[in-house]
Amino acid sequence: MSPNIKRDFLSLIDQKTCTIGVIGLGYVGLPLIDAFVNAGYRCLGFDIDPQKVDLLNRGQSYIKHIDGDRISQWLALNRFEATTDMQRLSEPDALLICVPTPLDEARDPDLKYVVSTCRHISQVLRPGQLVVLESTTYPTTTRDVVVPILETENMKAGEDFLIAYSPEREDPGNPDFSAAGIPKVVGGINEVSLDCASKLYETAVAGVIPVSNCEVAEAAKVLENIYRAVNIALVNELKVLFDSMGIDVWEVIDAAKTKPFGFQAFYPGPGLGGHCIPIDPFYLSWLARKQGLNARFIELAGEVNRAMPEYVVTRTSEFLNEFSKPIRGSRICLAGIAYKKDVDDPRESPSFELLELLLARGAEMSYSDPHVPQLPSMRHFNLPSMESQPLTAEYLRSLDAVLIATDHTDFDYDTIVQHAPLVIDTRNATQHVKGKRDHIRKT
């Protein structure tokens, strides 16, 4: 082991002279920078998108919950700079990798961004640096993918440089949790790496949970998301069953959650969205297949959740038929493009599939989302250009139906129910609307 690597790194933390490099300036990277800047560190942000880098260096943001004023404060404190220059990866003392980890067309893990980032780091890696992978992935990625790229004859992981895994934990749209307020699980390639990574995070977040190795930390993140995916699939399946029986699944869940133990409420919807739940469980099912095993719960949950947009479209057709309207030619507004309430994040949102399915059936589609003013281009969907429409009384009356896909707080549900001829509610967003309700349909 290089002499005094642990002592030197911990000294940088104690003196707050440790420079933090964050690679990937998106929904994970920017909140992480905020936590470290607030803890007194200087941060250098890396991204391959020059437009993002330019905006950040001018004190502007492209993410709602990290606004421009906050970024301007980072700049004013001289604690932040963004760059596309990967040669500068040698400057920070700690490098935190927050790049996307999508699935490929076969729904297998696609680690191209992690691999590319590690190759850039390997070209300039210096002794004593700490490298932490935060991107969600399958167990063994840090040891079997990241380490071999970074190691050379003269640079050994855990000896000449430090390496750890600490999965990102973000809850966009939830004001009760910031990156600094969420405990971090940390696993190191060895004890020295674990100690240094844990100490670094302890100074910036609410708490650290050290685990025995990188694989445990990687598996913990996947478990967190599988837990949610399976339980959401359960209530989605029950929704279909209870709909066929004329039972309100939302009322059932409200009744069940009054039990003070042994039950946690999960809610149905038009499909899964966000980077985590629709994608991450399949990392483990892929790994299970490589081990000659079947992850049956994961695969079944994926089937149920992926079927929900088609189910919603089928029910939309049935509801329109009640009003003597076919889907073809009907004017339908999709309320909500973001995958989650009160966020501007459209990643993996089921709204894109709903739009595509309804357009394919001949509907005249529009959308409204106060957080997504223009319909973003998504690589898996071929959709026309659209702009968000304000939900005025006149506009609502011109429609045949409003399909609520995301229950944003900013939507005026009283106005929607009062003026839209038909309201199809996939989120139980209209439950507290009083007065006329005979044209509301839940699904």
Model confidence, pTM: 0.89
Are both 342 and 382 inside the same structural domain? yes
Residue ending a domain, choose from 212, 230, 262: 212
Query: Which of 55-59, 182-186, 379-383, 421-425 is least confident?
Result: 379-383
Are both 390 and 262 inside the same structural domain? yes
Are both 287 and 330 inside the same structural domain? yes
Kind and range of the H or E run holding 53: helix 50-57
The predicted model gives 114-118 an average pLDDT of: 98
Q: Which domain holds residue 179?
A: 5-212
What pLDDT does residue 103 have? 80
Residue with tokens 């003269």: 154
What pLDDT does residue 274 have? 62
What pLDDT does residue 179 have? 67
**What's the pLDDT band for 272 if we cut at 50, 70, 90?**
confident
- Domain assignment present for residue 226? The answer is no
What pLDDT does residue 290 have? 83
What pLDDT does residue 300 have? 87
What pLDDT does residue 400 have? 98
CA dihedral 26, 27, 29, 35 (to 10 degrees): 140
Q: Taking the alpha carbons of 54, 55, 59, 63 in that order, is the dihedral positive or negative?
A: negative
- Domain assignment present for residue 223? The answer is no
Residue ending a domain, choose from 164, 194, 212: 212
Counting every residue written for the chain, the total comes to 443
| Residue 325 CB neighbour total at 10 angstroms | 18
- Domain assignment present for residue 420? The answer is yes
Q: Measured between alpha carbons, how far apart are the two ends of the chain, in Å?
A: 60
- Check pLDDT > 80 for residue 170: no
Are both 425 and 359 inside the same structural domain? yes
**Chain mean pLDDT for the chain:** 93
Is 276 annotated in the active site? yes
CA distance 430 to 412: 10
Give, in order, the Cα–Cα distances in Å from 319 to each of 242, 323, 356: 17, 7, 19
Are both 97 and 161 inside the same structural domain? yes
Are both 251 and 163 inside the same structural domain? no
In one-letter notation, the amino acid at residue 45 is G
On the 0-12 / 13-18 / 19+ scale of CB atoms within 10 A, 44 is buried
The predicted model gives 368-386 an average pLDDT of: 90
Condensed to tens digits (0 to 9), the pLDDT of residues 117-161 reads 999 999 999 999 999 999 999 999 999 999 999 999 999 999 999
Sheet of 208-211, strands arranged across: 80-83, 42-46, 19-23, 94-97, 130-133, 162-165, 184-188, 208-211
CA distance 404 to 109: 32
- Domain assignment present for residue 62? The answer is yes
Are both 200 and 282 inside the same structural domain? no
What pLDDT does residue 302 have? 86
In one-letter notation, the amino acid at residue 266 is F
Are both 24 and 171 inside the same structural domain? yes
Q: Taking the alpha carbons of 5, 7, 13, 16 in that order, is the dihedral positive or negative?
A: negative
The predicted model gives 27-56 an average pLDDT of: 96
Greatest Cα pair distance in the chain:
79
- Check pLDDT > 60 for residue 1: no
Condensed to tens digits (0 to 9), the pLDDT of residues 273-323 reads 766 666 767 777 888 888 888 888 888 888 899 999 999 999 999 999 999
Kind and range of the H or E run holding 46: strand 42-46
Residue ending a domain, choose from 212, 228, 263: 212
Domain count, the chain: 2
- Domain assignment present for residue 177? The answer is yes
Are both 307 and 193 inside the same structural domain? no
CATH number at residue 287: 3.40.50.720
Are both 206 and 334 inside the same structural domain? no
- Check pLDDT > 80 for residue 172: no
CA distance 63 to 192: 35
Query: Which of 104-113, 198-207, 332-341 is least confident?
Result: 104-113
- Domain assignment present for residue 252? The answer is yes
- Domain assignment present for residue 233? The answer is no
- Phi/psi at 111 (5° precision): -100, 20
Query: Which of 110-119, 138-147, 237-246, 341-350 is least confident?
Result: 341-350
The more confidently predicted of residues 286 and 228 is 228
What pLDDT does residue 378 have? 80
Are both 308 and 161 inside the same structural domain? no
**HSE on the CB side for 46, CA within 13 Å?**
24
Write down the catalytic residue from 18, 118, 214, 276.
276
Are both 270 and 160 inside the same structural domain? no
Left if phi > 0, otherwise alpha if psi is -120 to 50, otherwise beta: which for 123? alpha
pLDDT over 70 percentage in the chain: 96
- Phi/psi at 373 (5° precision): -65, -30
Condensed to tens digits (0 to 9), the pLDDT of residues 83-97 reads 999 999 999 999 999
- Domain assignment present for residue 224? The answer is no
